[in-house]
Every structure is written in structure tokens, then in C-alpha cells.
Amino acid sequence: MQKGIEPFKVFLFFLALFSILAFISVLFPDDGIRIGRNIHLHFPGIDELFSDDRPEYADISYLLDVYHDQELTDAGQLEAGDSAVDATVIVPVEDTTDGKLNIFDTMPADEDMIRGLVFPVQYPPGDDTGLNRFYDELASVDNGRGSLRIIHYGDSQIENNRISSSFRNRLQIRFGGSGTGMFPVISPVPHNASVQVIPRGNWSRFTPRERGPDNVGDNRFGLLLSWSSLNPDGDSGVDGSFTLRPTNLGYSRLRRMDELTVFFGYNSEPFTMELNSDTRTIDAELYFPADSLRIARWTLPESNSEFTVHIRGAGSPRIFSVSLDGHSGVAVDNVPMRGSSGLEFSATDPEIMGKMLDTLNVRLLLLQFGVNVVPHVVEDYSYYENSLYRQLEYFKRVDPDLNIIVVGVSDMSRRVPGGYYESYPNIELIRDAQRNAAFRAGFAFWDLYEAMGGNNSMPSWVQAEPPLAQTDYIHFTFRGSALVGDLLYNSVLAGYEMYLKERARP
């Protein structure tokens, strides 16, 4: 007969196991260990195991009720043949929710033009004309005259055309336009899924932060805050290219390639630039040395679906941007700046910035930053307000007619005792600093934190079904990004409709 396990030994085993786990919990970092962007390891502490202090999460039913799943074609979001890389874009329907402005309560509007909840764009006290110059130009486009451009700058929250994509598509449905807008030849982060950029050759990229191995001394970086160039291959000069190839993903308007524009210049050696399609050369031109910004623009044949820009010569120019746009309507550029707090713009030469803004007829900037400020918790964010204000003043000097919307920081959560997630305590302080900077400079502000649901809304977005935010409790999913893009569009268009109503008065 076998002897049974003694209770005292069982007790010692569990005591030893608990001691080991307690020791690990003491050594393990409180904020966990992050592996890559999507894996976050966390070991609960003793206080978490025995805590029942469950935070109260925001009620976002007003969003989930309004933005529910529908067939994409039913809402005009996508055309026949589109592929929803944004994972079933969430479509708004008419509804009224207490405490939120519904556009149908305030003005007549075509339901296909503007739908759903509106969180109004905010203006400096006593001045609600902060977007009128933009709305003037938009009205001209609305009447079939010309085109305009919007640039959406942001941190990693907008990478891969997130938020910009649905915002752009809604605008182009309403006002016309096509194409994915501006992008660099070389990018450290995904640009978009609709058009593939394939560089060939020995390319280098330069930014205000990363000036390259030669430590380029000037600050000519342009609208994308970066430029790319080819490195010489020995004594044979430079020889390289980049190919633009549409995919079958995303909105059809993004995949269309009607007009190709390349901003380049500041070359000390001659070179040729060719536009090729398949095995055919569409255009070729020799460029001599020049210390200036230049532009090449081509109308692309509809019969071709893939195009290559080939550069060869004694030296390379700086390539500041490449863009694919329609011949008219509205263009929207997505410019993600990973790790940025939105304070680098003044590091680029205002002359080249101004020339590109004017040539492209940029009428509105969206500045969406803040998530990289949040982890640095302090009691006073006046330093950030003043730094952001200086960037806004820089844009005013570059182009006094430019309108800007500062998009406030989104909600962001950290793990707390008990294993729960709750908002960082400084979110509203950062949001207020951004709004103060915008109002001081005379620009508009849109409160994304409020639109999400305010305090502790990020966990509600993560736990939504399907999820609207990723499990890092920082970034939106594609579905959530589409929702944010729609909310931003609704707010901008609500202001436009009010502008038209005021302009029509005797």
C-alpha cells in the first residue's frame, strides 16, 4: 500500500510556489514589458490580485448604436469592385443622442452628404470664422471650379492611412477627387494599402531627426519633413527608380492614378527623369544642376495600371514628394510621423514649405498628435502648449491664409492594480494644452477625446464587438479609424453647411 501525500508537504509546495511568484512580481516592471508593437507582457502584483477597485468605463453606446454594420455599398462608402481593407467600414445612420449635436437638428442636409453624430469643431472665443478661408475654397470646388488640398499630419495613430482614408473617401464622394495623395519614395512605416511603392537602387532618406551618414547641414525638407535621393554607384553616377502599382485593397478612389506629381530639386549634377509604363517610355527630360525646387507633373494614360519613374545621371536630385491625385476635387495627404509630438515643423526651411503649399493649393492642415506626450506624466503642460503654439505661429508665417484644425489627443489607457485599464491621469491636461495653443494662434480645435467618450473610453473601444481599438490601449483598429474619420468628416462638413447658410443670408 502506497503512502499518501502528506498535507504539510502540499502546504510547503504551494507556499514555495507563491513565494516564487511574489518574488517575480516584485522584479517585474510595473508597466510590463513590450515586445514589438502588439505584444505586451504583464505580471500582476500582489495588490492587483487582491484589489477589487474596478474602474468605471465610458458608455459609448451612442457610437455603437449610430455606427453599426451595414453593407458598404448601401451607404456609398465603396464602389463596386472595392475591397474593404478597412475591415467593413462602419457606417453612420441618422440618430439623436442627448448631449451630442445631431446635424439634422441644426440645419437641412442631404443624408448622403452628412450623417450621424457631430462633435462640433471648436473656435477661439468670440471668433467662429476660423475655417472660413478653407470653406471659401471648398465652395468653389463644390461648384466645379478648381481643386484644393488637405494635409493630415499625425503620429503613429494615423499610420497606413488610418483615419485619413475614410475622411478622404467621404470628402471625395461629396466634392470629387481621387488618388492617395502625397508620399515619400522611402518610408520607415507603411504608407497605405491601396498603392504599392517599389523603390529600386541605392536610396537614402533624410529627415530633421535623421540627416543621414553625411549629416546634411541645411533644413530643406519640405511638406513631408523628409526627402530621398539616390547614392552614386562608384564613378558611374546614379541609376534607380520607383514603381507605383495599385493593389486591390481599399477604396477605389485611392487606387486611381490620374495625375502623377514629383517635387524635386537642389541637384549639383545633371540627370534624366523618365516616366515609363510597361516597356514604353511615356516621357523623358534632362535636368541641369539647379539650386531650387522643381516639379514634374504627368497626366497618366488610363490604359496603363503601373508606372515607373527612372532617374539616372551624374548625380541625384532630392525627391521631396510623390503624389497621385485626380485632376479636380479634393486631395488629402496622410503624413504619419512615428514618435512625434508635432513639434518638428519649424525645423524645415519656410521658403520650400511655402512654395509647396502654394503650388499644391493646400488650404487646410490637420495636426493630430499627443499620444507620445501622454507617458510623460507631469502636473503642468504649459511647456507643451508653448511649444505647439510656436509650431502654429510658424505655419502662419509660412502661409497667412492657411487654416488649421488641431485634433486633440485620443484617450489612452494604462494598467492599474487589479489588472484593469484606465485613462492616464494627464489626458485632459494635454488636451487642454492643445486647445489653448490652437486658440492662442487663432486656429480651430476638434476634441477627439470627447468624441471617443471621454475618460476611460479607450477600454470601451477595445472591448467593443468588433473591436474599435487595439489591445495596446493606444491605437485604433482599422474599423475604429474609419469611425474616427467619419466623425471628423461630419464635424468639418457641419461647419461647412453652417458657413453656406450664413453666406446665403441677405
Structural contact between residues 350 and 396, judged by C-beta atoms closer than 8 angstroms: no
The model carries a pTM of 0.82
Label residue 386 by pLDDT band (50, 70, 90). Answer: very high
- C-alpha grid cell, residue 485: 474619420
Label residue 71 by pLDDT band (50, 70, 90). Answer: very low
Spell out the residues 6+ positions from residue 357 whose beta carbon is closer than 8 angstroms to its own.
223, 398, 399, 402
pLDDT in tens, 473-493: 999 998 899 899 999 999 999
Label residue 113 by pLDDT band (50, 70, 90). Answer: very low
DSSP assignment of 87-150: SS--EE-----TTSEEHHHHS---TTTS-SEE-PPB--TT---TTHHHHHHHHHHHTT--EEEE
332: number of Cβ within 10 Å: 28
Average pLDDT over residues 395-411: 97
Average pLDDT over residues 8-30: 72
Boundaries of every domain in the chain? 7-49, 59-177+330-506, 179-327
Q: What is the pLDDT of residue 31?
A: 61
DSSP assignment of 284-307: EEEE--EEEEEEEEEEPPTT---E
Q: What is the pLDDT of residue 70?
A: 33
Q: What is the pLDDT of residue 87?
A: 29
Label residue 42 by pLDDT band (50, 70, 90). Answer: low
CA dihedral 75, 79, 84, 87 (to 10 degrees): 0
Question: CB-side exposure of 412: number of CA atoms within 13 Å?
Answer: 23
Q: What is the pLDDT of residue 158?
A: 95
pLDDT in tens, 461-475: 999 888 999 999 999
pLDDT in tens, 278-333: 778 999 999 999 999 999 999 999 877 899 999 999 999 999 999 999 999 999 99
CATH superfamily of 59-177+330-506: SGNH hydrolase (3.40.50.1110)
pLDDT in tens, 224-236: 999 999 999 877 8
In this structure, of 34-48, 101-115, 350-364, the range with the lowest mean pLDDT score is 101-115
- SS3 annotation, 336-362: ECCCCCCCCHHHCCHHHHHHHHHHHCE
Average pLDDT over residues 107-118: 42
d(CA 422, CA 411): 10
CA dihedral 260, 299, 141, 251 (to 10 degrees): -60
Structural contact between residues 246 and 255, judged by C-beta atoms closer than 8 angstroms: yes
Instruction: Identify the CA nearest to 368 among candidates 322, 431, 427.
Output: 431
Average pLDDT over residues 335-344: 94
- C-alpha grid cell, residue 362: 493646400
For the cut 70, the answer to whether the pLDDT of residue 367 exceeds it is yes
Average pLDDT over residues 416-438: 94
The H or E element spanning position 40 is strand 39-41
* Mean pLDDT for all residues in the chain: 83
d(CA 74, CA 59): 28
Q: How far apart are the first and last CA of the chain?
A: 105
Label residue 5 by pLDDT band (50, 70, 90). Answer: low
In residues, how long is the chain?
506
Identify which has the larger pLDDT, 29 or 245.
Answer: 245
Average pLDDT over residues 13-41: 67
Structural contact between residues 343 and 386, judged by C-beta atoms closer than 8 angstroms: no
Is 432 in a helix, a strand, or coil?
Answer: helix
Burial state string for 212-239 with b = 16 or more CB within 10 A and e = fewer than 16 = eeeebeeebbbbbbbbbbbeeeeeebbb
Average pLDDT over residues 77-87: 37
pLDDT in tens, 158-213: 999 999 999 999 999 999 999 999 999 998 887 777 889 999 999 999 988 765 44
Amino acid letter, 157? Q
Structural contact between residues 298 and 275, judged by C-beta atoms closer than 8 angstroms: yes
For the cut 80, the answer to whether the pLDDT of residue 45 exceeds it is no
Structural contact between residues 225 and 337, judged by C-beta atoms closer than 8 angstroms: yes
- C-alpha grid cell, residue 286: 534632362
Structural contact between residues 320 and 222, judged by C-beta atoms closer than 8 angstroms: yes
Range from 3-17, 58-72, 143-157 that averages highest in pLDDT: 143-157
CATH code for the structural domain at 179-327: 2.60.120.1360
Question: CB-side exposure of 154: number of CA atoms within 13 Å?
Answer: 25
Label residue 26 by pLDDT band (50, 70, 90). Answer: low
- C-alpha grid cell, residue 365: 492642415
Q: What is the pLDDT of residue 32?
A: 64
d(CA 316, CA 201): 12
For the cut 80, the answer to whether the pLDDT of residue 30 exceeds it is no
For the cut 70, the answer to whether the pLDDT of residue 424 exceeds it is yes
Q: What is the pLDDT of residue 381?
A: 97
